[in-house]
């Protein structure tokens, strides 16, 4: 497994592989690898000749009062997991090289970046699309693997790739959950044992409304109330938002006629957890 810190050197290395006709699969991460990432790596390993993993906690996607400083870091463990997972190339950039003093270029996807998480984290997705444009130019992937837990992020990046004619495909890979149903996230490590148990209520609420929809409920007002009730029964959890939206433009849906996304964000103390489910009528 090769490890690169400089953009130019990893770019040149991969460009030389591409000239040899190798297909490049890319898994961009913020490190602190977990089973969710490993499922992306596994998928990339299956589809490609070369698997590239980036580990970069992107400062410009964090707001001034967000958890950039406390975002969990575990490089040594990450490298071990990457090696065991069959990663060929790790790109581990320095943030001063990624954002030089004269950095002033940003990529923005309007509309879908401003709803849901974008409403509560202004500028967040602009930071995400900018770093992804950079990483895709550096790594030159044929296929990029993104997790469905960050559904909004995945479709924003997909839109950017389409609109800017980037020569690559985005594959969105299903959410990986713990045995008890909690969606796996690096931020789960910042939960205490007690909070970890409380967090289960998120998945429980999603399962409950999936049942409701199966039973014929189509009114999204009812569905959101149900989720809200279940969550509010658990002390110490604060809901940021619960939304039912269409799968493409992420606009609110009142009555479920085709598959929709139920997206939820909650806070447990200082930890922000997101989850979602596709509801099919």
Residues labelled catalytic:
37
221 by Cβ neighbours in 10 Å (0-12 / 13-18 / 19+) ranks as exposed
246 binds a copy of itself (CB under 8 A): no
Quote the DSSP letter at residue 110.
T
Instruction: Give yes or no for residue 96 binding a copy of itself (CB under 8 A).
Output: no
102 binds a copy of itself (CB under 8 A): yes
Only segment of 80-88, 110-118, 179-187, 202-210 that touches a copy of itself (CB under 8 A): 110-118
- The answer to whether residue 129 forms part of the interface with a copy of itself (CB under 8 A) is yes
- Cα 254 to Cα 59, 151, 166: the distances in Å are 36, 20, 35
CB of 212 to a copy of itself, least distance (A): 32
Query: Which is nearest to 206 in space by CA: 273, 271, 255, 155?
Result: 273
Q: Which stretch binds a copy of itself (CB under 8 A): 59-67, 69-77, 144-152, 158-166?
A: 158-166
CB of 143 to a copy of itself, least distance (A): 14
Between 14 and 242, CB nearer to a copy of itself: 14
- Residue 165-204 contact track with a copy of itself, rule CB under 8 A, x = bound: xxx-------------------------------------
Candidates 1, 3, 11, 47: give the one binding a copy of itself (CB under 8 A).
Answer: 11
Name residue, tokens 């065991």: 84
- What distance in Å separates the CA atoms of residue 147 and residue 215, rounded to the nearest whole number? 29
Please identify, using beta-carbon distances, which residue of 76 and 104 lies nearer to a copy of itself: 104
Q: Report the alpha-carbon distance of residue 51 to residue 255 in Å, rounded.
A: 42
82 contacts a copy of itself (rule: CB under 8 A): no
Task: Enumerate the β-bridge partners of residue 53.
Answer: 27, 90
Among candidates 47, 57, 51, 55, which has minimal Cα distance to 89? 51
From 17-25, 49-57, 222-230, 237-245, give the range in contact with a copy of itself by CB under 8 A: 17-25
Cα(143)–Cα(22) distance, integer angstroms? 12
**Least distance in angstroms from the C-beta of 135 to a copy of itself:** 8
Name the packing angle between helices 35-47 and 75-85 (round to 10°).
40
Give the separation between CA 228 and CA 205, rounded to whole angstroms: 8
How far is CA 95 from its chain centroid? 20
Binding residues for a copy of itself, rule: CB under 8 A, are: 7, 11, 15, 18-19, 21, 100, 102-112, 129-130, 133-134, 137-138, 140, 159-160, 162-167
């Amino acid at each position: 497994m090769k490890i690169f810190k400089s953009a130019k050197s990893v770019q040149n290395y991969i460009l030389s592989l591409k000239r040899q006709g190798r297909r490049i699969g890319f898994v961009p991460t913020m490190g602190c690898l977990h089973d969710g990432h490993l499922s992306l790596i596994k998928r990339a390993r299956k589809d490609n000749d070369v698997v590239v993993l980036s580990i970069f906690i992107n400062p410009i996607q964090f707001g001034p009062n967000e958890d950039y400083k406390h975002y969990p870091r575990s490089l040594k463990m990450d490298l071990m997991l990457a090696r065991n997972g069959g990663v060929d190339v790790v790109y581990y950039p320095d943030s001063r090289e990624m954002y030089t003093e004269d950095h002033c270029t940003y990529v923005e996807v309007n509309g879908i970046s401003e709803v849901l998480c974008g409403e509560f984290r202004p500028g967040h997705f602009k930071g995400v699309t900018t770093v992804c444009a950079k990483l895709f130019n550096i790594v030159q992937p044929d296929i990029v693997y993104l997790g469905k837990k960050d559904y909004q992020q995945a479709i924003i990046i997909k839109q950017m790739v389409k609109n800017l004619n980037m020569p690559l495909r985005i594959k969105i890979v299903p959410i990986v959950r713990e045995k008890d149903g909690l969606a796996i996230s690096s931020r789960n490590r910042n939960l205490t044992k007690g909070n970890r148990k409380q967090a289960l209520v998120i998945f429980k609420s999603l399962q409950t409304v999936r049942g409701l929809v199966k039973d014929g409920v189509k009114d999204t007002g009812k569905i959101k109330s149900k989720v809200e009730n279940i969550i509010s029964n658990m002390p110490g959890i604060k809901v940021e938002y619960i939304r039912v939206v269409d799968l493409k433009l992420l606009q609110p849906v009142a009555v479920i006629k085709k598959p929709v996304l139920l997206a939820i964000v909650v806070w447990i103390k200082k930890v922000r957890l997101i989850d979602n489910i596709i509801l099919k009528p």
